[in-house]
Amino acid sequence: MKIVILGCGGFVGSHLLDRLLKTDEHQIVGWDPDEKKISKHLKNSNFTLHKKYVDDPETQSDLRQAIAWSDVVINLAAICNPAEYNTNPISVIRSNLFDVYPIVQLCVEYKRWLISFSTSEVYGRTLSSYVDGAAYDNPDLYELNEDTTPLIMGPISNQRWTYACAKQMVERLVFAHHKEDGLPFTIVRPLNFFGPRMDYIPQRDGDGIPRVLACFMGALLHRQPMQLVDGGTARRTIVSIYEAVDAICRMLQRPERANGQIFNIGNRANEVTMAELAERMRKTYARITGDASFNDHPIVKVTSERFYGEGYEDCDRRMPDTTKARTLLGWEPNIPLDDVLFDTMTYFHAEYGETAEKEVEPIPGE
């Protein structure tokens, strides 16, 4: 297959390249200014990297040519770091909406299949977060179905919703072009893919606040307290990146089944609160390092306002209905959370473990 991958140098892109370039089956042209996570593929004759942002004017003619040449365009390019949603909202909206629309239009023009990476954040808050008591446990109020669940976001002043809203708008544009112009499309709504190479370790190879895995991992590596935002009661389901990539490959193998569909990609069996995740991660790290003191590694509570700044609000729970991925793609994830954490944290320990403590001053918790 001839595949264009935008944002191919990130976490998902690097694992997708590992998988797709295992054989000689595919020719891939990618765009990403960052090549660190994909350096081992740069000499592969089946892969060409344009080290540019997709919105760079100098790359527009190459981009047009590549999309015209391709069988499928996979868009992963995004600013998708929760700490940016309320602190850097214009860049977040630009990256997730305005930079993406020209790609959608090129796919419309050449009638190319677009696999558009969205987010489970488009669901916003669950209906159950608005009710009290027993109704909270009614699955009809918290299970997320791709085609029937309403998308519920907070007020404009809570700028945390900029990312979700921009992604939702792209979904609506893609769907509208499908209806009006026959654009072939698949929308992927990931639910917390975890694995090696996710994000970066703060104070080591990036600034700011990455997603929760890297935040907790950084705290363990640097022997700083793990910080639970607003008590750590929010629940998420976690799926292995390897199984997530398998879902994408199944889409590529079954275009007729994936076309015109939105898919939740998540693992229902791996639901945890963020407090439970912190607990499991410190125990897993004790096992990996053989250092039992990590079993009691300090966990502190911090308000979302202090951690993320003004305008932050979280979704309480995200339980995906994955019936469609199972029935149309034959995809069913089954790697348990403890195995996902062990594999992922072993990678981070090998990459950063030895020097981490020596280089960073511990910060006090709240």
Ligand X SMILES: NC(=O)c1ccc[n+]([C@@H]2O[C@H](COP(=O)([O-])OP(=O)(O)OC[C@H]3O[C@@H](n4cnc5c(N)ncnc54)[C@H](O)[C@@H]3O)[C@@H](O)[C@H]2O)c1
Kindly state whether residue 195 participates in binding ligand X, applying the rule CB under 6 A: no
CB nearer ligand X, residue 115 or residue 219: 115
82 contacts ligand X (rule: CB under 6 A): no
Using rule CB under 6 A, residue 200 touches ligand X: no
Q: Is 237 in the site for ligand X (CB under 6 A)?
A: no
Nearer of residues 48 and 289 to ligand X, judged by Cβ:
48
Residue 144 binding ligand X, by CB under 6 A? no
In one letter, which amino acid is 356? A
> Which C-beta is closer to ligand X: that of 193 or that of 308?
193
Set 123, 163, 312, 352: catalytic member: 163
Q: Is 291 in the site for ligand X (CB under 6 A)?
A: no
The CB-of-122 to ligand X minimum distance in angstroms stands at: 10
How near is the Cβ of 298 to ligand X at its closest, in Å? 27
Instruction: Compute and round to an integer the Cα radius of gyration of the chain.
Output: 20
Two structure tokens written together for 150 = 């309403």
312 sits near ligand X (criterion: CB under 6 A): no
Instruction: Choose between 236 and 349: whose C-beta lies nearer to ligand X.
Output: 236
In this chain, which stretch among 51-59, 66-74, 126-134, 309-317 interacts with ligand X, using CB under 6 A? 51-59
| HSE toward the beta carbon, residue 260, CA cutoff 13 A | 8
CB of 53 to ligand X, least distance (A): 4
Q: Is 163 a catalytic residue?
A: yes
85 touches ligand X by CB under 6 A: no
> By beta-carbon distance, which residue lies closest to ligand X?
10
Taking CA atoms, 336 is separated from 153, 239, 269, 343, in Å, by 31, 8, 8, 11
Q: Is 168 in the site for ligand X (CB under 6 A)?
A: no
Q: How far does Cα 309 stand from its chain's mean position?
A: 21
Distance of alpha carbon 12 from alpha carbon 19, whole angstroms: 11
31 binds ligand X (CB under 6 A): yes
- 77 binds ligand X, rule: CB under 6 A: yes
CA dihedral 100, 102, 104, 108 (to 10 degrees): 180
Q: What is the dihedral of CA 24, 16, 63, 80, to 10 degrees?
A: 180
Q: How far is the CB of 31 from ligand X (least distance, A)?
A: 5
User: Max Cα separation, the chain?
Assistant: 60
Q: Where are the beta strands (DSSP E) in the chain?
A: 2-6, 27-31, 47-50, 72-75, 113-117, 143-144, 185-190, 193-194, 226-229, 235-237, 239-240, 261-265, 271-273, 299-302, 319-320
Catalytic residues: 163
| Contact residues for ligand X, defined by CB under 6 A | 6-7, 9-13, 31-34, 53-55, 76-78, 80, 95, 99, 117, 119, 190, 192-193
